[in-house]
Amino acid sequence: MNVSPLQSARYEYTPKLPGMLRHGIADICVKEGEATQSVADQEKIQALFPNTYGKKEITFQKGANTSAAKKQVVGVILSGGQAPGGHNVVCGLYDALKATNKENVLLGFKGGPSGLIQDDFIIFDDEYIDQFRNTGGFDIIGSGRTKLETEDQFKIAAQVCEKHGVTAIVIIGGDDSNTNAAVLAEYMAAHNTGVQVIGCPKTIDGDLKNEDIEASFGFDTATKTYSELIGNIERDCNSSKKYWHFIKVMGRSASHVALECALETQPNVCLISEEVAEKKMSLSEIADQIADSVEKRAADGMNFGVVIIPEGVVEFVPEFKALIAEINEMLAGEKADAFNALADWNAKYEFISKGLSAESMKVFEILPQAIQQQLFLDRDPHGNVQVSLIESEKLFSAMVGAKLAQRASYTGKYTAMHHFFGYEGRCAFPSNFDADYCYSLGYNAFMLIQYGYTGYLSKVSNLSKPAEEWVAGGMPITKMMNMERRHGEDKPVIRKALVELDGAPFKYFEAHRAEWAEKTCYTFPGAIQYFGPASVCDLTTRTLALEKGE
């Protein structure tokens, strides 16, 4: 296999472990903490997880290993979208497993959770694992979005585990995947299968976090990748001085990525979906906010700027949410066929005008025609509008242009450019932070297995400090859960973490954004650094540093 010089160098990088995991397997013991309860709906969650609810948090520390010696056959699954560092979770798991007992076996189920159901796996060895150390992507075994949630699936999974002598499953994924891990753990425990289930927190969106999980892996690398690109655009923008760049970034359910990129690059405008919802901002008000920045800068001769937009912002606009709900209802069932059979857009527009309320029609009318049509593209499997297909960066740039045309006070020039940074950040070479963090999560996951825990999330904390000071342990997944309405049913799910408007990262942004909106305050993070002083190479995110008061 041909490799680049950087790839060869990254193979040689030795990830840093938390201090207590550096003593050697024989010198790691467990310290148990308090019993836990779910963040909400305690009685309902406990009733659904009678075998795994209320377990104690644990931390690992130096001391004699008291775990029972036995051969372990562990299966690992990569679930959901890719995130930088996933390979190192697998490598850390493999290394800890082999350091404990050379006879231990690690199976990699291919293509995500479906690999477990289909009994499709590879057996890892040193030669294969070494090709993927400190590299991006999930191509070591592939990933998938199959959900493990039905009784039939659990039964098949248990049979596959029994067939191969599997003692534990590690699921590497986001909030939905780890919810599935908790349900699978409960099934395995309820049926006395002897199979443990451990989760690892992954998502570049950054919304799988809480007081225990300080960061999901991949967020650091992805936001550094996006921030480099945004910084490059800012430099170009400040050089040509003639374009307004509207940049959409990942984050449908929360704005952590947008906020981190704003803290890194100091753009003129950054929308925060959670603030939009809190203030019940309309599309018109958002467009006015951006137009104000454009006009103020134009008054100083600066007909250029940068706007960062989170992917899911339109879903947080109350009037737009109402519009989407009405469209979903209007095209439910056979009515969609009648709509799709209409000959042209004019006929479809008339159909729409008769189906929407007066309030929603007002919102629909102010949308550019291209965006109106995007609302009626292919539906998702549940017949709903696919909001992720809406080009919100083009929506707001067009609305801002219309606002400026109505302002007699505006005499500047306005030309918009559009970008969407998504897949660019999902499979980048992991930063040193993510390489270290992920390796630690995998190593730590095996320690949880060795000590007999199930239904736990691998947990590494104190992450704003050097790796030597990180704290490793585990947290029951049920601690993060509450009941939510999903597809017409109440289901137990891990609560998503939104941007906290009273949190230090947003407060810092809020204190500086008025200056950024009017002046050119751009900062240029540059490319991720893998070699050099720790103050540059091991730098954590601005979000985490501010949350820790640093």
What residue spans define the domains of the chain? Answer: 38-218+430-486, 219-426+503-547
CA distance 79 to 138: 9
Tokens of 164: 């191969």
What is the CATH number assigned to the segment(s) 38-218+430-486?
3.40.50.450
Tokens 């137009």 belong to 291
Could you tell me if 179 and 147 are in contact, meaning their C-beta atoms sit under 8 angstroms apart?
no
**CA nearest neighbour of 521 among 509, 503, 529, 531:** 509
**Paired strand residues for 77:** 171
Q: Give the per-residue pLDDT at 209.
A: 92
**CA nearest neighbour of 216 among 176, 158, 168:** 176
Q: Give the per-residue pLDDT at 20.
A: 84
Q: Give the per-residue pLDDT at 1.
A: 64
Q: Residue 35's Cα: distance from chain center in Å?
A: 28
Q: Give the per-residue pLDDT at 456.
A: 98
Superfamily of domain 219-426+503-547 in the CATH hierarchy: Phosphofructokinase domain (3.40.50.460)
Could you tell me if 252 and 314 are in contact, meaning their C-beta atoms sit under 8 angstroms apart?
no
CA distance 108 to 116: 9
Q: Give the per-residue pLDDT at 357.
A: 95
Task: List, for the chain, all residue ranges whose pLDDT scores fall below the cut of 70.
Answer: 1, 379-384, 487
Q: Give the per-residue pLDDT at 356.
A: 94
Sheet holding 121-123, edge to edge: 28-35, 56-62, 471-476, 456-461, 196-201, 168-173, 73-78, 105-109, 121-123
Residues annotated as part of the active site? 205
E strand map for 434-539 = 456-461, 471-476, 481-486, 489-494
Strand, coil or helix: 308: strand
CA distance 96 to 72: 11
Could you tell me if 421 and 229 are in contact, meaning their C-beta atoms sit under 8 angstroms apart?
yes
Q: Give the per-residue pLDDT at 424.
A: 94
Tokens of 138: 């999930």
| Reported pTM | 0.95
Q: What is the DSSP letter of 389?
A: G
Q: Give the per-residue pLDDT at 376.
A: 86
